[in-house]
Amino acid sequence: MSLIVVGLNHHTVPVELLERVSVPSGKLSKALHDLSSREHLAEVVVLSTCNRTEVYARCTLFHPAVQDVREFLAEHSGTDPTEFDDHLYTYYDDSAVAHLFGVAAGVDSMIVGEGEILGQVRDAWSLAEAEHATGPLLSRVFRHAVEVGKRARTETEIGRHAVSISSAAVAMAQQRVSSLRRSSVLVLGAGEVGEGMAVALGAAGVADLVVANRTRTRAARLARRVGGRAIALDEIADALVRADVLLTCTGAGSVILQRDDIEAVVEAREGRPLLIIDVAVPRDVDPGAAQIHGVNLLDIDDLRRHADESREQRQHEVAQVRLIIAEELERQRVEHSAREVAPLISALRERAETVRTGELDRFRAKLDGLDPAARQVVEALTEGIVNKLLHEPTVQVKQAAGTARGELYADALTALFDLPDRARTSEAE
C-alpha cells in the first residue's frame, strides 16, 4: 500500500475553481467519511484552506485511488471533473511526503513562510484521527511533517520576516487607504485568519475596529483583545455604512454578502468609497460587487499578486528550508525501510526458532536423560548457533534496506527460507 496526495492549490487554479472544490470546516467530517468509504482509500486526511484543497491517502492501488479522489472532488463541488483535470496534481510515496513537508514548512504557501499553514496541517491531521479516518501510516507522516515545519521555523528565518495571509490582507488595505489610523474597519470572521487580521489592525492603530462573527461571544472576545467592539451578523449592513474597509474571511462555504446587499450599503454611504478585501475561499462577498461604483473589491488572486512582490526577499531562506526537507526525507526513508524489513527479519528468526525447537523435540527421548544443567547447555548452544548464523544476514538486510540490493536480499531470504509474503508487508497494512 502506498501514500498519495491529490489536490489543487493557488499555484494551479484561479480562485473561482479553488473555491468550488474547497471543503468548508463544517463539512470536513462528512468528507472524511465519504473518502474513507471508497474502495481504494484505506486512510485519509483532508487539508482544505484558502490556498489549497488536498486529499492525502494510503491507497491499495494507485490509479483507482486517484480516480476515487477525483470523483469525490467532482461530487462534492458539483463540478464536471474535466474542468479541473488539467489542474489536478498527484504525488506518490516519497514525492507525496516531500510535498507535505514543503506545505508544513511554508515554502509551498502563497505567502512564503506564513505560519498559519502549520496549524492547519496539524488540525487536519487531528480531525482525521478524531473521525477514525487515518491510521499508522498517515499519522506517522503528518507527525513528521509537523516536526519539519517547526524545525524550518526554528533553524531558518523563513518565518521571521514573512507575512501571514492575514497580515498581507492588512498590508493591502494600508496601501489603498490614506490612513488606517483614521479609518473605520470591519472584520468579518473570528477564525484563525480573521483573528490575525484583527490583531494586525489593532497593532496598526485603527481608529474604529469592529468584529462580526457567527458566534457573538467569540467576536466579543476578539474585540476586547484588540480594543475594538463586537457586533452581530444582522448588524453588518449598518456597520458597513460607516466603515471605510471590510476585511473578511469566514468558513461559511457560500456568499454572505450579495451584490444587492453591497448596493444598498453604497446608496447609504453618500458617495464615500468602500474597500473590501475578501480572502475567504469560497468567497464571502459576491464577485459582482466589484462592478458597483465606489467599491474596490480585492480577493485571494489579488493577495497572490501581492505575495509575489515579496517572494524574492525570502528565496535564500527557502533554499535553507529545502535542505532541511531533504534531510528529513532521508530520515523518513531510513525509518520506513527499517520498518519494512522488521517483519522479514522477525519471520526469519521465527522460522529458525521453529527448526531449532523442532529438532530438540525430535531428540527429546535422548535429551530427557540429561540433568537440568546439561539441558540448559544444549539450549544455550543451539540458540547461539542460530543467532550466529542469522547475525550477518540480518545486518546485511538492515543496511541495504530501501535500496535495490536490499530488495534482492529480501527476495532471496523469502525464497530460500520459504518465508510468507506477509513478512514483507509494512506495518501500515
> Quick check: helix, strand or coil at residue 341?
helix
Chain centroid offset of residue 272 CA: 42
Residue 331 is predicted with a pLDDT of 85
pTM of the model: 0.67
- Extract the C-alpha cell encoding 210: 469592529
Highest mean pLDDT among 53-57, 156-160, 234-238, 266-270: 53-57
Q: What's the Cα-to-Cα distance from 334 to each of 93, 96, 110, 327, 328, rounded to whole Å?
A: 14, 16, 31, 11, 10
Q: Across residues 233-262, what is the average pLDDT?
A: 92
Helix H, strand E, coil C: the string for 145-199 is: HHHHHHHHHHHCCCCCCCCCHHHHHHHHHHHHCCCHHHCEEEEECCCHHHHHHHH
**Residue among 225, 236, 171 nearest 195 (CA):** 225
The domain covering 165-309 belongs, at the CATH homologous superfamily level, to NAD(P)-binding Rossmann-like Domain (3.40.50.720)
Confidence class of residue 159 from pLDDT cuts 50, 70 and 90? confident
Pairing assessment for the beta strands 2-9 and 52-59 based on DSSP bridges: antiparallel
Residue 162 is predicted with a pLDDT of 57
Class of the CATH-defined domain 2-155: alpha beta
Residue 428 is predicted with a pLDDT of 40
| Domain range annotation of the chain | 2-155, 165-309, 333-424
Confidence class of residue 163 from pLDDT cuts 50, 70 and 90? low
- Per cent of the chain over pLDDT 90 is 53
Check 42, 50, 280, 347 and give the catalytic one.
50
Residue 429 is predicted with a pLDDT of 42
Confidence class of residue 187 from pLDDT cuts 50, 70 and 90? very high
Mean model confidence pLDDT for the chain? 88
Q: Across residues 7-15, what is the average pLDDT?
A: 89
Residue 249 designated active-site: no
Q: What is the per-residue pLDDT across 328-346, written as a single tens digit (0 to 9) for each?
A: 988 887 777 777 777 888 8
